[in-house]
Amino acid sequence: MIKRSWMTAVVALFAITSLYPLIWVVLQSLKTDTDFFANQWGLPERFIWGNYATAWEQANFATYYANTGLVTLASLVGGVAVCIVAGYAFGKIRFRGRRSLQVLFALVLFVPSPVLLLPVFFINRDLGLLNTYAGMIGPYIASIVPMGVLLMQSSFAGLPNELSESAKIDGCGEWRTFYRILLPLTLPTVATLCILQFIGVWSEYMWAFISNTNPKMYTIAVGMAQMASKKYVYGFGPVFAGMVITSIVVILVYVVLQKYFVQALSEGAVKG
């Protein structure tokens, strides 16, 4: 029998390795560079809040935030809506070709992205979508489709058929039955999809990096990485501040919605 305090000690040790790098970043983000070189373990000599202003203004974080917010919102609303309606059709309507389409969707669940990298670039180049919002939003919507449709389909299929039948007897058409009666009952799954898509798109780096050569189109992940590669120009303090600015929204959303996050990620993995 392992003692409870021993187990706590082991877990606490890992908690430190998880948390300390993040605390370290926050501490350095408030220091001058000389302070950082001399002493990176302690508290700042003076708190240099100006590092945040420097990062925000000089490294254009305002632009990155606007881009990321817009792209995330559009990919989230678009992606989730697309999955909801398709999930309903797959889960509740019998139609020709349903099985084969389902198999097709499932096959693509584990496609490694290196194989998509170049062709998606060329497709968007030919469509004139490089350096545009649409060029990011389209692939991001596609990225949630296979898993999202699967989750929504099983959520709709799990609802008893009597519900929709009695709604129809009451005079609801197919669309009203879906929208008014069944959709509200699948909201937990919808929330799961929203969380998965939010965290996926907000932090996405690879595609945003390849798709945009124009710095005005950068998302925060790309802008922050570009800034970090010029740390001797901007100074270390602002680079650390940039990392905090990049992570803060995701961390806040995570802390507030922690319960749903855990549920979303495990549901996404286990059922998807």
Partner 1 sequence: MPPRQAVKKQLLAYAMIFPALFFFALYLVFPLVKSLQMSFYDYDGVGPLNSFIGLGNFAEGFRDSRFYEAMGHNLILMVVELVVSMSVAFVLAYFLFRGVFAWRWFNVVLFLPYIIPLAVSAVIWSLIFEPTIGMLNQLLGALGLDSWQRVWLGSQDTSLLSVILVWIWRTIPFDMLILLGSLLKIPKELIEASKIDGCTGIRTVWSIILPLMLPTIVLLSIISIANDFRSFDIVWIMTQGGPIGSTEIASTLVYKLGFQENHYGYANAVAFMVFVIVTAMVGLVSLILRSWNGPNERAGG
**Could you say which residues in the range 88-107 bind partner 1, by CB under 8 A?**
88-90, 93, 95-96, 98, 101, 104-105
Is 225 a binder of partner 1 (CB under 8 A)? yes
Q: Nearest distance from residue 53's CB to partner 1, in Å?
A: 20
By CB under 8 A, residue 171 contacts partner 1: no
Stretch that binds partner 1, among 35-43, 52-60, 155-163, 185-193 (CB under 8 A): 35-43
Q: How far is CA 99 from the centre of its chain?
A: 30
Q: Which of 125, 99, 23, 69 is nearest to 249 (CA)?
A: 69
In whole angstroms, the minimum distance from the beta carbon of 47 to partner 1 comes to: 20
Q: Is 37 in the site for partner 1 (CB under 8 A)?
A: yes
Query: What minimum distance in Å lies between the beta carbon of 238 and partner 1?
Result: 13
Residue 115 exposed, middle or buried by CB count within 10 Å (0-12, 13-18, 19+): exposed
Number of amino acids touching partner 1 (CB under 8 A): 91
How is 20-86 classified by DSSP, letter by letter?
HHHHHHHHHTTS-HHHHHH-SSS--SS--THHHHHHHHHTTHHHHHHHHHHHHHHHHHHHHHHHHHH
For residue 166, state whether it binds partner 1 (rule: CB under 8 A): no
Asked if residue 228 lies in contact with residue 242, where contact means CB atoms within 8 angstroms, the answer is yes
Sites for partner 1 among residues 50-69 (CB under 8 A): none
| By CB under 8 A, residue 18 contacts partner 1 | yes
Q: Are 125 and 159 in contact (CB under 8 A)?
A: no
User: CA 139, 90, 141: angle at the middle one, nearest 5?
Assistant: 10
- Which stretch in 44-52, 115-123, 159-167, 184-192 sits in contact with partner 1 by CB under 8 A? 115-123
Residue selected from 142, 172, 181, 185 as contacting partner 1 according to rule CB under 8 A: 142
Q: At 137, phi and psi to the nearest 5? A: -60, -45
From residue 202 to residue 221, the character string flagging contacts with partner 1 as x (rule: CB under 8 A) and all else as - is xx-xx--xx---------xx
Distance (Å, rounded) from C-alpha 177 to C-alpha 63?
42
* Residue among 138, 235, 237, 238 that touches partner 1 (CB under 8 A): 138
